[in-house]
Amino acid sequence: MPTRNEVFRIADKLRAAGKRPSYRLVTEALPRGGSPRVVLKHLEAWREERAYKPKLEAKGLPEPLQERLVAFAEQTWRAAQDQAATVFQREREAAEEVRSIEAEDRECLLGQLKALQAEAGGLNALVAATRAEAEHLRARLEKVENQLGRFRAEEFWDRVMQEIFEILPPAGTMSAAEVLPELKARTLRGAALHKEPLTAATLRKKMDVRVTHGRYFEAHPEGRFGRRSA
């Protein structure tokens, strides 16, 4: 795009050479040419600043030639203005088209954004439902594991009671403290897995429960136990 200084410099050179600084001559002298609207704007500013009048510049020429030059200048000036107006209109229409396309693109992008937001909302709801279901399943699994743990513990302690029944003498009694050293090593290890220490107090409590339910043992004085008769 030509600058004001470039147009002024070329117009001054043309004037000094006795040539009329027309749009065509100025444009041809510009290294990269220029838009009619820009060149004419700078030329108009140059004419005002230099007080340039084509009719006065032609003084000294024959009158008919002066009139023809002035008429030609005016005709050229009007043609240049018309061309500039046409170019300006085309540029404005192109800008309007660009703005229209951008508006359509924005609408399209907004539509896509709303669709993505709706999809994200659905996914969030699905994630929330999945988490709730997972929590429900986790609670159920924990309940089942607890029940299974209690079942295994009861099964383990029932085996311990059977072992104690075999340890007790058929016609005698023993205390829980006397029974404890007689238990097998694997029984002691198994008690650790069930998170309940295998002590004399624990054995006495477990054996008391069996006495209450009429299984395996009979209670005797001084905390002693004997085999329950069939």
| CATH number of the domain where residue 171 is located | 1.10.10
Q: What is the pLDDT of residue 226?
A: 94
Question: Minimum mean pLDDT among 55-59, 83-87, 128-132: which range?
Answer: 55-59
* Final residue in a domain of this structure, among 90, 109, 125: 90
Q: What is the pLDDT of residue 173?
A: 94
Query: Looking at the predicted structure, is the pLDDT value of residue 165 above 90?
Result: yes
Query: Looking at the predicted structure, is the pLDDT value of residue 85 above 80?
Result: no
Q: Are 39 and 26 in contact (CB under 8 A)?
A: yes
Confidence of residue 70 (pLDDT cuts 50, 70, 90): low
- 115 domain residue, yes or no: no
Could you write out the three-class secondary structure of the chain? CCCHHHHHHHHHHHHHCCCCCCHHHHHHHCCCCCCHHHHHHHHHHHHHHHCCCHHHHCECECHHHHHHHHHHHHHHHHHHHHHHHHHHHHHHHHHHHHHHHHHHHHHHHHHHHHHHHHHHHHHHHHHHHHHHHHHHHHHHHHHHHHHHHHHHHHHHHHHHHHHHHHHCCCCCEEEHHHHHHHCCHHHHHHHHHCCCCCCHHHHHHHHHHHHHCCCCEEEEHHHEEEECCC
- 106 domain residue, yes or no: no
Q: Are 49 and 43 in contact (CB under 8 A)?
A: no
Query: Looking at the predicted structure, is the pLDDT value of residue 141 above 70?
Result: yes
Average pLDDT over residues 75-89: 74
Average pLDDT, rounded, for the chain: 83
Q: Per the structure, how many domains does the chain have?
A: 2
Burial class (CB in 10 A: 0-12, 13-18, 19+), 115: exposed
Query: Looking at the predicted structure, is the pLDDT value of residue 66 above 60?
Result: no
- 35 domain residue, yes or no: yes
Q: Indicate if 83 and 155 belong to the same structural domain.
A: no
- 207 domain residue, yes or no: yes
User: What is the residue range of 212's domain?
Assistant: 150-227
- 158 domain residue, yes or no: yes
Confidence of residue 188 (pLDDT cuts 50, 70, 90): confident
* Final residue in a domain of this structure, among 69, 90, 111: 90
Q: What is the pLDDT of residue 110?
A: 82
Q: Indicate if 156 and 86 belong to the same structural domain.
A: no
Q: 5-25, pLDDT tens digit by residue?
A: 988 998 999 988 888 888 889
- 130 domain residue, yes or no: no
Task: State the Cα–Cα distance between residues 152 and 171, nearest whole angstrom.
Answer: 31
- 96 domain residue, yes or no: no
Q: 37-47, pLDDT tens digit by residue?
A: 888 988 899 98
- 141 domain residue, yes or no: no
Q: What is the pLDDT of residue 230?
A: 66
Q: Indicate if 86 and 154 belong to the same structural domain.
A: no
Q: 102-120, pLDDT tens digit by residue?
A: 777 787 778 888 888 888 8
